[in-house]
């Protein structure tokens, strides 16, 4: 089943950067915010809501088209796979991504989301979610039956009740 | 294992900034860091090195020190930075902690500790971007009426959005109000003891730090495992539930119920209006979002929205204001203000002025009682009639304290201890150690704790918690003294890390040892406990140099006139407990 990352509830973000730290430490053996594939940004300090800049898992990714070496190939479920061996750090993909979701690491390799699913596990407010999509990356439409009220899970539940049961974050 | 194997760059460095010559240099101090790890341990030792006997709190030579710890920006909720200075409010140890983005920004800019010395001839702000330090003229933002606006302007002129921290002062710091605060990234503060005044005296309007380094992780697998465990403990257990939920303001109803909530200048210890300024009311009616310090998944910063109509044509302005327990006590119960919107407006006024809200609340409460007792008249107050619950007068009074148009308001701007020595009313000036008290009147533990704490703060030893325990089952005084000592030492270790104290029960000795080990630093529980004791001795040595003597502690009568959570307190009992504390501490 193909999956991709989605910013499901952007307004719930508290700006803790737990997702960024998790992303960076999962895919690099260093500690940083810099190597995170997801970027939490302030727009006017913390007085205004945070912005979450993530790869949109494009169905027809412009970054892939922009890569002159073919280092980026279509990923099942949208977005791209990066062949690091081929990437020479030219930065064309950065230009092509109007989301601003790509940058280079210290080795001059593209830092680009793999939709691996680690960051939602370190989001304490369900801002980030993994959703099921068609292999093409199209949103999957399934018959869900009767629609239920999806208002906040439970206004009286404690944080522990809401999150205590969730599967632990990483990391084998 | 020594710190040589701990590969985080910057762990052993100190950035020295000299405002007089507008220069800077970096020193490596592995000797200090290997022994004291970071935070308060490093800051205290550097202050002992730097302090020249007789230097006043606002003299240019007087340094101010900012320090983070080995876990900062690396583990969840290790988000604090300690500021150490000599307090212009009480002349004693100035020690204050702030969250926001500062610790993470310092970590990723590569500086563990920053020492700022000298004074500029004209207003400046200092910008640290990774290894570059620049000094820029801040004259055009010096007279702004709001500390919030300073951030708005600097955000536009400096790079580093989202990876930086902007700490700045408001008019109170410029004018020398001795309890001026430093606003950190909006909503967080170095609140207590007047760091903002020190900034002002140095003509330092703001300090901006940004960095985006990548840090080596010597034991990456262990590090990832430990982060995961700590994150789960913080987010998925009940250990930090209070802060995930109502936040500190949960305590309004709790302390009111326990009859430990200072009200109307501590003439009472419960407030008939508590129900309308409770954490529950703020959450239900005004809370619009919560935010975090960078690196903390709790999100305890509670932001209220205040919608104000300003014309009959349905025109509104909206203010976003952060609130906490201490603020609601200081500008609510202690001023007899039962209207939650009035509390929010008063908080907002202080936030813009850049002033310590607890001190301001206590000062205004004392002034109100002075006027009611006829000890001062409208002559001193320039016509202002202060009365409990009167928001408009208090808003004006805050302005006047900051503007200091006459002798009386100038005195109010030097704190309640100073003002009461000048105008009388010392017996109801609710300060301990020259610092206006936080919102607890729970009994011996609290009064003793605030008196002996190195910064006269409930956050050093949680004396109120001993009282809460004693409320349920009487505890001998000696046990309360012992509780306070143990808590102080434990918190000193946390303050070396520098972890947020809201996560104190997550960062047990065991977990601190594990967190350190996973980044290559070996410590045993015994070593950490010894570190806590060592820090107490060093801080006491510093306090003595600043002129602190236990013998000089005054205990205003008001503490013994108003019944506390654990009943009436006698001065004699507190004095005896202080003696017991000194004996056990060997000081």
HEC per residue, B346-388: HHHHHHHHCECHHHHHHHHHHHHHHHHCCCCCCCCCCCCCCCC
Residues B148 and B40 in one domain: yes
State whether B554 and B407 are in the same domain. Answer: no
Domain boundary among B414, B435, B456: B435
Decide if A168 touches B, using CB distance below 8 A.
yes
Six-digit token string for A3: 């999956």
Q: Which of residues 557-576 of B touch A (CB under 8 A)?
A: none
**A53 to chain B: nearest residue by CA?**
B162
Q: Is residue B70 part of a domain?
A: yes
Residue with tokens 């704490």: B453
Vertex B183 angle, CA B501 and B419, to 5° = 90
Answer yes or no: are the C-beta atoms of B331 and B337 closer than 8 Å: yes
Name the nearest CA neighbour of B26 among B126, B124, B115, B118. B115
- The DSSP letter of residue B263 is B
Q: State how far residue A91 is from chain B, nearest Cα, in angstroms.
A: 19
Q: Min CA distance, A166 vs chain B (Å)?
A: 8
A20-51 core/surface letters (b: 16 or more CB in 10 A; e: else): bbbbbbbbbebbbbbbbbbbbebeebbbebbb
Residue B585 near chain A (CB below 8 Å):
no
Structure tokens at B11: 């762990």
Are residues A34 and B108, on separate chains, in Cβ contact within 8 Å?
yes
Secondary structure of residue A97 in the 3-state scheme: coil
Tell me: do B371 and B452 sit in the same domain: no
B186 touches chain A (CB under 8 A): yes
Which residues of chain B, if any, have pLDDT below 70?
A: 1-10
State the pLDDT confidence band at A43, using cuts at 50, 70 and 90.
confident
Using the beta-carbon criterion (under 8 Å), do B235 and A124 form an inter-chain contact? yes
Residues B411/B404, Cβ–Cβ less than 8 Å: no
Range A150-158, long-range pairs (CB < 8 A, 24+ positions):
A158/B238, A158/B241, A158/B244, A158/B245
Could you tell me if B126 and B12 lie in one domain? yes
Write down which residue in B382, B414, B435 finishes a domain: B435
CA distances from B112 to B29, B107, B496, B542 (A): 11, 6, 11, 21
Domain range summary for chain A, segments of one domain joined by +: 2-163
Half-sphere exposure (Cβ direction) of B57: Cα atoms closer than 13 Å: 27
pLDDT at B503: 96
Domains: count for chain B: 2
Across the strands, what pairs with B135?
A: B126
Q: List the beta bridge partners of residue B116.
A: B17, B64
Q: Is B224 near chain A, with CB under 8 Å? A: yes
Question: Minimal CA–CA distance to B304: which of B334, B248, B238, B348?
Answer: B348
Angstroms from A41 CA to nearest CA on chain B: 5
pLDDT at B6: 52
For B519, counting Cβ atoms within 10 Å of its Cβ (0-12 exposed, 13-18 middle, 19+ buried), the class is buried
pLDDT at B69: 96
pLDDT in tens, B397-433: 999 999 999 999 999 999 999 999 999 999 999 999 9
**Is B134 inside any structural domain?**
yes
Q: Are A74 and A80 spatial neighbours (Cβ–Cβ below 8 Å)?
A: yes
Indicate yes or no: CB of A33 within 8 angstroms of CB of B163. Answer: yes
| Ordered strands of the B182-184 beta sheet | B132-137, B124-129, B204-210, B164-168, B182-184, B188-190
Say yes or no: B151 contacts chain A, CB-CB below 8 A: yes
B540 interface with A at CB cutoff 8 Å: no
A11 and chain B in contact, CB less than 8 A: yes
The arithmetic mean of pLDDT across residues A134-150, rounded, is: 82
Sign of CA dihedral A3, A4, A5, A7: negative
Does the beta carbon of B320 lie under 8 angstroms from any beta carbon of chain A?
Answer: yes
Helix/strand/coil (H, E, C) string of B169-232? CCHHHHHCCCCECEEECCCEEECCCCHHHHHHHCCEEEEEEECCCCEECCCHHHHHHHHHHHHH
Within a domain: B520:
yes
Record: contact B224-A171, CB cut-off 8 A? yes
Assigned token pair, A86: 């081929």
**What does the block give as tokens for B5?**
């194997």
With b for 16 or more beta-carbon neighbours within 10 A and e for fewer, the B171-191 pattern comes to bbbbbbbbbbbbbbbbbbbbb
Q: Is A153 on the interface with B (CB under 8 A)?
A: no
Report if residue B275 sits inside a domain: yes
Q: Are residues B337 and B310 in the same domain?
A: yes
Same domain, residue pair B208 and B304 = no
Rounded CA separation A90/B310 (Å):
55
**Boundary-marking domain end, from B380, B400, B435:** B435
* Buried b / exposed e along B95-126 (16+ C-beta atoms within 10 A): bbbbbbbbbbbbbbbbbbbbbbbbbbeebbbb
Mark whether B427 and B476 lie in a shared domain. Answer: no
Would you tell me which residues 103-122 of chain A have a C-beta closer than 8 angstroms to some C-beta of chain B? 105-106, 122
What interhelical angle do B477-497 and B39-50 show, nearest 10? 90
The pLDDT value given to residue A150: 66
CATH number, domain with residue B170: 3.60.9.10
Percent helix, strand and coil across chain B, each to the nearest 5: 45, 15, 35
Q: Do B186 and A46 touch (CB under 8 A)?
A: yes
- For A143-167, what is the mean pLDDT? 76
- Structure confidence at residue A145 (pLDDT): 79
Structure tokens at B438: 């936080």
Residue B155 near chain A (CB below 8 Å): yes
Domain extent, residue B429, equals: 240-435
Q: How much is the average pLDDT of A150-170?
A: 75
State in words which class domain A2-163 has: alpha beta
* Whether the predicted pLDDT of A57 surpasses 70: yes
Closest of B519, B449, B520 to residue B491, by C-alpha: B449
Structure tokens at B143: 């007279």
Size of interface A-B (CB pairs under 8 A): 131
Contact present, A84 and A109 (Cβ < 8 Å): yes
Assigned domain for B453 exists? yes
- pLDDT tens by residue, B170-209: 999 999 999 999 999 989 999 999 999 999 999 999 999 9
Chain A hits for B189, CB-CB cut-off 8 Å, are none
Residue whose token pair is 């932001």: B303
User: Tokens in use for B25?
Assistant: 């240099």
Please list every residue in chain B whose beta carbon sits closer than 8 Å to the beta carbon of residue A33. 104, 108, 163, 212
What are the beta bridge partners of residue B516? none
How many Å lie between the alpha carbon of A17 and the closest alpha carbon of chain B?
A: 6
Burial class (CB in 10 A: 0-12, 13-18, 19+), B585: middle
Q: Which of A161, A66, A71, A137 is nearest to B245 (CA)?
A: A161
Check residue A168 and give its pLDDT: 77
Q: Do A14 and B292 touch (CB under 8 A)?
A: yes
B242 inside 8 A of chain A by CB: no
CATH number at residue B365: 1.10.569.10
| Residue B231 maps to a domain | no
Q: Is B560 left (phi over 0), alpha (psi -120 to 50) or beta?
A: alpha
B267 interfacial to chain A (CB closer than 8 Å): no
């Amino acid at each position: 089943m193909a999956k991709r990352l989605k910013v499901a509830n952007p307004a719930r973000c508290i700006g803790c950067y737990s997702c960024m730290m998790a992303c960076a430490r999962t895919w690099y053996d260093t500690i940083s915010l810099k190597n995170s594939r997801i970027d939490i940004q302030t727009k006017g300090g913390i007085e205004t809501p945070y912005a979450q800049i993530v790869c949109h898992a494009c169905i027809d990714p412009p970054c892939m088209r922009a890569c002159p070496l073919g280092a980026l190939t279509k990923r099942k479920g949208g977005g791209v796979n990066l062949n690091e061996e081929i990437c020479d750090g030219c930065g064309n993909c950065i230009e092509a991504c109007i989301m601003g979701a790509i940058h280079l690491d210290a080795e001059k390799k593209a830092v680009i989301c793999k939709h691996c699913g680690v960051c939602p596990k370190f989001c304490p407010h369900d801002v980030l979610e993994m959703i099921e999509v068609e292999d093409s990356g199209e949103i999957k439409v399934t018959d869900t039956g009767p629609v239920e009220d999806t208002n906040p899970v439970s206004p009286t539940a404690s944080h522990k009740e809401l999150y205590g049961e969730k599967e632990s974050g990483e990391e084998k | 294992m020594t710190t040589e194997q701990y590969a985080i760059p910057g762990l052993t460095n100190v950035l020295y900034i000299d405002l007089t010559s507008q220069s800077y240099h970096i020193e490596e101090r592995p000797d200090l860091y290997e022994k004291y790890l970071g935070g308060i341990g490093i800051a205290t030792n550097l202050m002992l090195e730097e302090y020249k006997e007789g230097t006043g709190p606002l003299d240019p030579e007087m340094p101010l020190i900012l320090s983070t710890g080995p876990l900062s920006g690396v583990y969840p909720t290790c988000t604090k930075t300690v500021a150490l200075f000599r307090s212009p409010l009480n002349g004693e140890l100035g020690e204050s902690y702030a969250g926001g983005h500062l610790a993470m920004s310092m970590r990723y800019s590569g500086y563990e500790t920053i020492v700022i010395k000298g004074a500029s001839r004209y207003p400046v702000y200092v910008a640290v971007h990774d290894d570059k330090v620049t000094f820029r003229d801040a004259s055009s933002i010096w007279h702004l009426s709001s500390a919030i606006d300073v951030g708005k302007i600097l955000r536009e002129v400096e790079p580093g959005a989202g990876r930086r921290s902007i700490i700045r002062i408001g008019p109170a710091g410029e004018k020398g109000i001795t309890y001026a605060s430093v606003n950190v990234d909006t909503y967080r503060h170095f609140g207590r003891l007047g760091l903002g005044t020190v900034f002002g005296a140095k003509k330092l309007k703001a300090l901006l730090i940004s960095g985006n380094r990548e840090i080596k992780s010597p034991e990456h697998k262990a590090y990832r495992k430990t982060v995961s465990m700590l994150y789960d403990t913080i987010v998925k257990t009940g250990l930090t539930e209070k802060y995930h939920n109502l936040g500190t303001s949960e305590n309004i109803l709790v302390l009111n119920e326990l009859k430990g909530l200072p009200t109307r200048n501590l003439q009472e210890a419960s407030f008939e209006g508590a129900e309308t300024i409770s954490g529950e009311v703020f959450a239900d009616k005004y809370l619009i979002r919560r935010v975090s310090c960078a690196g903390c998944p709790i999100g305890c910063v509670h932001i209220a929205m205040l919608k104000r109509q300003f014309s009959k044509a349905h025109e509104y302005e909206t203010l976003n204001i952060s609130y906490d327990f201490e603020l609601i006590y200081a500008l609510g119960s202690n001023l007899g203000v039962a209207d939650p919107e009035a509390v929010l407006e008063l908080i907002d006024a202080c936030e813009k002025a850049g002033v310590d809200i607890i001190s301001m609340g206590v000062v205004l409460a004392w002034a109100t009682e002075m006027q009611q007792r006829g000890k001062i008249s409208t002559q001193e107050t320039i016509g202002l009639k202060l009365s409990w619950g009167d928001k408009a007068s208090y808003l004006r009074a805050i302005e006047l304290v900051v503007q200091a148009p006459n002798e009386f308001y100038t005195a109010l701007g030097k704190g309640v201890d100073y003002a009461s020595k000048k105008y009388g009313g010392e017996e109801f000036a609710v300060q301990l150690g020259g610092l206006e008290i936080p919102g607890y009147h729970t009994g011996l533990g609290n009064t003793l704790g605030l008196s002996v704490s190195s910064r006269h703060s409930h956050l050093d030893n949680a004396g109120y918690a001993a009282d809460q325990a004693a409320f349920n089952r009487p505890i001998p005084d000696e046990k309360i003294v012992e509780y306070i000592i143990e808590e102080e030492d434990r918190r000193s270790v946390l303050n070396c890390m520098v972890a947020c104290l809201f996560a104190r029960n997550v960062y047990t000795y065991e977990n601190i040892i594990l967190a350190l080990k996973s980044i290559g630093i070996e410590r045993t529980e015994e070593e950490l406990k010894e570190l806590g004791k060592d820090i107490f001795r060093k801080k006491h040595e510093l306090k003595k140099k600043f002129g602190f003597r236990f013998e000089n502690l005054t205990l205003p009568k008001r503490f013994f006139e108003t019944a506390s959570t654990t009943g009436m307190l006698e001065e004699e009992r507190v004095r005896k407990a202080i003696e017991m504390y000194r004996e056990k501490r060997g000081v």
